[in-house]
Amino acid sequence: MNHVDMSGKVCLVTGANSGIGLVTARELVRLGADVILSCRDERKGDAARAGIRQATGRDVAAILYADFASLDDVRRLAAEVQGIGRPLHVLVNNAGLMLTERRTTREGFEYTFGVNHLAPFLLTELLREHLRKSGEARIVNVASRAHKRAQLDFDDLQSERSFDGWTVYCRSKLCNVLFNLELARRLEGTGVTANSLHPGVVATGFGRESTGLWKTILAIGRPFMTSPEGGARTSIFLASDPSVRGVSGKYFATCRPATPSKAGQSRSDAARLWEISERLVAA
Ligand SMILES: NC(=O)c1ccc[n+]([C@@H]2O[C@H](COP(=O)([O-])OP(=O)(O)OC[C@H]3O[C@@H](n4cnc5c(N)ncnc54)[C@H](OP(=O)(O)O)[C@@H]3O)[C@@H](O)[C@H]2O)c1
């Protein structure tokens, strides 16, 4: 990866207080970018800001707070980003989680689907024009190789019939890959690119809300996982590297193009998911 000068570039990183998002934000600050952190907890946001300042000698541009389990919060976040009065050159849709029990968001959507898919879908839609006006801009969607284990069930996107936390998480990551595919198609000719990625299997706070067997699996696996620094590499690469200028609609792993699952390449499913998501966030 080249050392890129990101001075003058404004970047928004969601889930920026922990794990992959924190390192992504910190390293973009180090590259000279003006980085806006999106967090949901003030205490964690303040700690992230202090850590970034200490590590890089630079402050972040702003911290904005939003709980992605509320689409009203996402709408407020998008308005606040635009209210800063600066262009937006990079949007890193990174916030995400896995649950072991079914919960619902404030609007009543299954929580994993709501936080991992509907929230970044809406945020991106609301910021699309703002990104386009910035000239060249990049959208980076943090998906996962876990999407390869999923098929979408359009008749049960809210997992009401059956809930298994891992299956639902994999589906949400397939949604990220399909969202990216359709987004890139819709962005053609605008100067804004969109790429999704697998960050690796990374030792972060991921799965911290898990219980039972998953808690044990994550604890045992942790020493064998990639560091958050390694996990953030592909996000930083896609956000900043000149070699991917103009590249769009692709899925990356370890800073290289990779092949998503067959389900992740379905243009018809991507279009269908988009239409459904559009209706859900408008409701
Ligand atoms: N770790 C891995 O092995 C791995 C592998 C593949 C993909 N990923 C993806 O990488 C991304 C980052 O995960 P990570 O591994 O860095 O995990 P992490 O350390 O748990 O970070 C997740 C971030 O998402 C935020 N978040 C969770 N729920 C939220 C909500 N309701 N509203 C707003 N923000 C919320 C968290 O905020 P709080 O701290 O306030 O909870 C945190 O900042 C996720 O999209 C995940 O699916 C991770």
Question: SS3 of 197, please?
Answer: strand
Catalytic residues: 169
Ligand 1 mean position to 181 CA, how many Å?
A: 22
Q: For ligand 1, atom 43, which residue shows the shortest CA distance?
A: 15
Per-residue pLDDT of the chain (283 residues; tens, 9 = 90+): 557 999 999 999 999 999 999 999 999 999 999 999 999 999 999 999 999 999 999 999 999 999 999 999 999 999 999 999 999 999 999 999 999 999 999 999 999 999 999 999 999 999 999 999 999 999 999 999 999 999 999 999 999 999 999 999 999 999 999 999 999 999 999 999 999 999 999 989 887 777 788 788 888 888 889 999 999 999 999 999 999 999 999 999 999 999 999 999 999 999 999 999 999 999 8
Q: Which amino acid is at 14?
A: T
Ligand 1 mean position to 189 CA, how many Å?
A: 31
CA distance to 130, 133, 246, per residue, from 234 (Å): 24, 25, 16
Please state, in angstroms and rounded to a whole number, the distance separating the CA atoms of residues 152 and 139: 23
Ligand 1 mean position to 143 CA, how many Å?
A: 11
Q: What's the pTM value of the predicted model, to 2 decimals?
A: 0.97
DSSP state of 200: -
Instruction: Classify 10-282 by CATH class.
Output: alpha beta
